Structure 1
Amino acid sequence: MSTQTELHYQRIAEAITYLQENFKAQPQLDEVAKAMHLSPYHFQRLFTDWAGVSPKKFLQYVTIAHAKKVLKEPQATLFDVAIDSGLSGSSRLHDLFINIEGMSPREYKNGGEALDINYSFADSPFGKVIIASTAKGVCHMAFAEDEDSALTYLKTRFPRASYYQALDMMQQKALYIFTHDWSKLEEVKLHLKGTDFQLKVWESLLSIPLGRLSTYGAIAQKLAKPKASRAVGSAVGSNPVAFLIPCHRVIQSSGVIGQYHWGRQRKTAMIGWEAAQLELDKH
C-alpha cells in the first residue's frame, strides 16, 4: 500500500469513526471535512470512492441502525426515537425510514403487523423452494432443505405478519421460470424492502440476461461506484428472492464461481442449466 493510499485509508477510517461517534449531532459535510482536514469537495469524493456511499448516506445508515435498536423498546414513541437518534422530529424519522427501508418506522416497529403473507413449497430443478407473496408481489423465495426451518426463517423476516399456506397467482407466475415459460416473467411482481443501494444492486441483477454472467466489479461500475465491489457483494448476498433476482449470475472477476447463499454446487448447476436452456431455444 503506497503512502498516499494509506493516508487516504486512515482518513476515511477516522471519518467513519467520527460519524459513528457523533451521529446524534447530525454533522454537516463541512463539519466532518474540517475535522478530517480536507475540503468538503475532496472529502466527499474520497469518502464515496472508499466507502461506496456518500458521507450523508453513511450518516443515514448509522442513524437508522440506532433508531432500529430504540424502536425495539416497547415503550418508545416515534418522537422519542427521533430525538434519541439526533433527528428534529418524527417526520424526519419517517422520511429516513421510507428512504432507507422502504417502510415507515411504525411498520418496522410492528414487524409486519397487518401484512398478510401467503407461502407455499414447490419443486425446482435445484431442489425444493419456499415462495411467499403479499398483495403487492413476491417478497421471498429461497431453497428449502427443510420446510420447518425455511418457514421459521421467513417468519423472522416478517415476525408479526399473518401467514397462510396458499399458492396464489403471483407465486404461480413466478414459478413459471422453472418450467421455461420465460414469457410469463414480465408478469411477475416483486415486493422488496431494502436500502437504496441494495435495491439498485438487485435491479442491476435483473438486467443480467439469461445464460450470461457478470462480476461484482462490473455491477459496481454500472452503479458508478467502481470501488464498491465489497458493498455490491454484500447486497448480492442479501438478495431475498432466489433465482428470480439472479444473484447466481454474478461471479468473481477471476472467473471463479464464488460463494452462494444456497451453496456453490447449486450455483454452478443453475448457471449450467440456464446455458442448456438457451441451447434448447436455438433448436
Structure 2
Amino acid sequence: MEAQNITDYSRIAEAIDYIRVNFKRQPTLDEVAGKVNVSAFHFQRMFKDWAGVSPKKFLQYLSIEYAKSILKDKQVTLFDAAFETGLSGTSRLHDLFINIEGMTPGEYKNGGEQLTINYSFAESLFGKLIVASTAKGICYMAFADDEGMAFADLQGLFPNAKYRQVVDMIQQNALYIFTQDWSKLNQIRLHLKGTPFQLKVWETLLKIPMGNLISYAGVAYSIQNLGASRAVGSAIGANPVAFLIPCHRIIKSTGEFGQYHWGSTRKAAIIGWEAAQLNPEN
C-alpha cells in the first residue's frame, strides 16, 4: 500500500461525493479536479493510482443499474457460489482465513473487566482506522476520522477493560488485508462480543466475495429466516469490525447503497474500489 494512495483518500472521497451529487449533469474532469484543488492531469493520475480505473469508469460501479445487475445475478446463488470461487487473486474468500470466536459471558461480564485490550491507529486506503485486540483476536476495528471519539466508542463496548495503546502482531496481520497481498496473511482471528444471532449474521457476511453485493433480504434468506430482514439490519449495524466483516456489501433491494455506520461516501468508495480491483483498466 503506497503512502501516496493513503494520503490521497480525503481528496478521493471528496471527489466521489461531488460526482455522486452531480452525476445527472456529468461534471467534467476539469470541474471535479478543481473541486479538490488539483490539476485535471494530476487528478486523473491520482484517481487511477488509487482505484485502478478512471473516475468515469469508477462512477459506473456506483450506479443503481450496476448494483441491480449484481443483485439480480448473484442474490439467490451467492452463498453457494462463494464456496466455488477459488483462492486466486483478489477473489479469495474472507471466510477461508477469518475465524470468528464469540466471547464467553465471563469475558465481557461487568463491562469487560477481565479483558486487556491493545489498540492502535493505522492508515488505510479508506482513511484512518482504530484497531483493537485481545489475546485471542481482533475485538474491534472502525474508521477513526476523530481518534478521541473512536477510542470513546471502543471504551463504550468494554468500559471496564484495561487498555494499552500498543501495536501487536494480531493487529498487524489483520491490516495486511488492505495490501491485497494474500501471501502475507495468516488466519485472522476475531474475538467478538455478540448474541448468537449477531454472530451468525456476521459469519454470513464473511461469505460474500469481494466485488459482490447482496440485500438485507438476501442475508435473511441465506440464514433460512426470511422474516428476519429487520433483525438482520440491526445485526449488520452492530458490526464491530469494519471492512474485515464486509457489511459495506449489503445494500437495499432497490440497488441503492443505503446508510453505513462510517459514512455513505466511504461505503461508496469501498464498493467502487472493490469492483475496480476485479475489473482493472490496462
Q: Using the alignment, how far apart are the partners of 2:120 and 2:191 within structure 1?
A: 16
The change in CA–CA distance for 1:108 and 1:140 in structure 2 (over 3 A counts) is closer
| 2:147 alignment counterpart | 147
Q: Using the alignment, how far apart are the partners of 2:258 and 2:138 within structure 1?
A: 27
Counterpart secondary structure, 1:203: helix
The change in CA–CA distance for 1:107 and 1:172 in structure 2 (over 3 A counts) is closer
Q: Using the alignment, how far apart are the partners of 1:153 and 1:231 within structure 2?
A: 22
| 1:169 alignment counterpart | 169
Counterpart secondary structure, 2:189: coil
Q: In the alignment, is residue 207 of structure 1 matched against residue 207 of structure 2? A: yes
Q: Using the alignment, how far apart are the partners of 1:115 and 1:102 within structure 2?
A: 10
| 2:104 alignment counterpart | 103
The Cα of 1:107 is off from its aligned counterpart by 4.5
The change in CA–CA distance for 1:133 and 1:250 in structure 2 (over 3 A counts) is same
Counterpart secondary structure, 1:130: strand
Larger-Rg structure: 1
In angstroms, what is the RMSD of aligned CA positions? 1.7
Q: TM-score by structure 2 length? A: 0.61
The Cα of 1:184 is off from its aligned counterpart by 4.2
What does 1:233-252 align with in structure 2 at a 5 Å threshold? 233-252=233-252
Q: Using the alignment, how far apart are the partners of 2:132 and 2:214 within structure 1?
A: 27
Q: In the alignment, is residue 136 of structure 1 matched against residue 129 of structure 2? A: no
The change in CA–CA distance for 1:183 and 1:245 in structure 2 (over 3 A counts) is farther
The Cα of 1:109 is off from its aligned counterpart by 3.9
Q: Using the alignment, how far apart are the partners of 1:135 and 1:160 within structure 2?
A: 16
The Cα of 1:116 is off from its aligned counterpart by 1.1
Give, as a single letter, the amino acid of the residue that structure 2 aligns with 1:233: G
CA contact (8 A) 2:173 2:186 kept: no
The Cα of 1:177 is off from its aligned counterpart by 1.4
Amino-acid identity (%): 64
The Cα of 1:160 is off from its aligned counterpart by 1.3
Q: Using the alignment, how far apart are the partners of 2:258 and 2:225 within structure 1?
A: 21
Counterpart secondary structure, 1:173: helix
Per-residue deviation, residues 126-150 of structure 1 (Å, max 9, x unmatched): 1101000011000000001111111
Per-residue deviation, residues 253-283 of structure 1 (Å, max 9, x unmatched): 1111011001111100000111122234x97
The Cα of 1:114 is off from its aligned counterpart by 2.6
CA contact (8 A) 1:102 1:195 kept: no
Give structure 2 stretches of 5+ with no counterpart.
Answer: 1-101
CA contact (8 A) 2:115 2:162 kept: yes
| 1:274 alignment counterpart | 274
Q: Using the alignment, how far apart are the partners of 2:208 and 2:134 within structure 1?
A: 26
* Number of residues of Structure 1 aligned to a counterpart in Structure 2: 181
Q: Using the alignment, how far apart are the partners of 2:270 and 2:246 within structure 1?
A: 10
Counterpart secondary structure, 1:191: strand
| 2:261 alignment counterpart | 261
The Cα of 1:199 is off from its aligned counterpart by 0.5
Give structure 1 stretches of 5+ with no counterpart.
Answer: 1-100
Counterpart secondary structure, 1:120: strand
The change in CA–CA distance for 1:225 and 1:174 in structure 2 (over 3 A counts) is same
Q: Using the alignment, how far apart are the partners of 2:206 and 2:182 within structure 1?
A: 14
Q: Using the alignment, how far apart are the partners of 1:108 and 1:164 within structure 2?
A: 17
The change in CA–CA distance for 1:246 and 1:183 in structure 2 (over 3 A counts) is farther
Q: Using the alignment, how far apart are the partners of 1:135 and 1:110 within structure 2?
A: 19
The change in CA–CA distance for 1:182 and 1:277 in structure 2 (over 3 A counts) is farther
Q: Using the alignment, how far apart are the partners of 2:130 and 2:273 within structure 1?
A: 20
Per-residue deviation, residues 1-54 of structure 1 (Å, max 9, x unmatched): xxxxxxxxxxxxxxxxxxxxxxxxxxxxxxxxxxxxxxxxxxxxxxxxxxxxxx
Counterpart secondary structure, 1:242: coil
Detail structure 1 runs of 4+ shifted over 6 Å in the superposition: none
Q: Using the alignment, how far apart are the partners of 1:221 and 1:117 within structure 2?
A: 35
| 1:230 alignment counterpart | 230
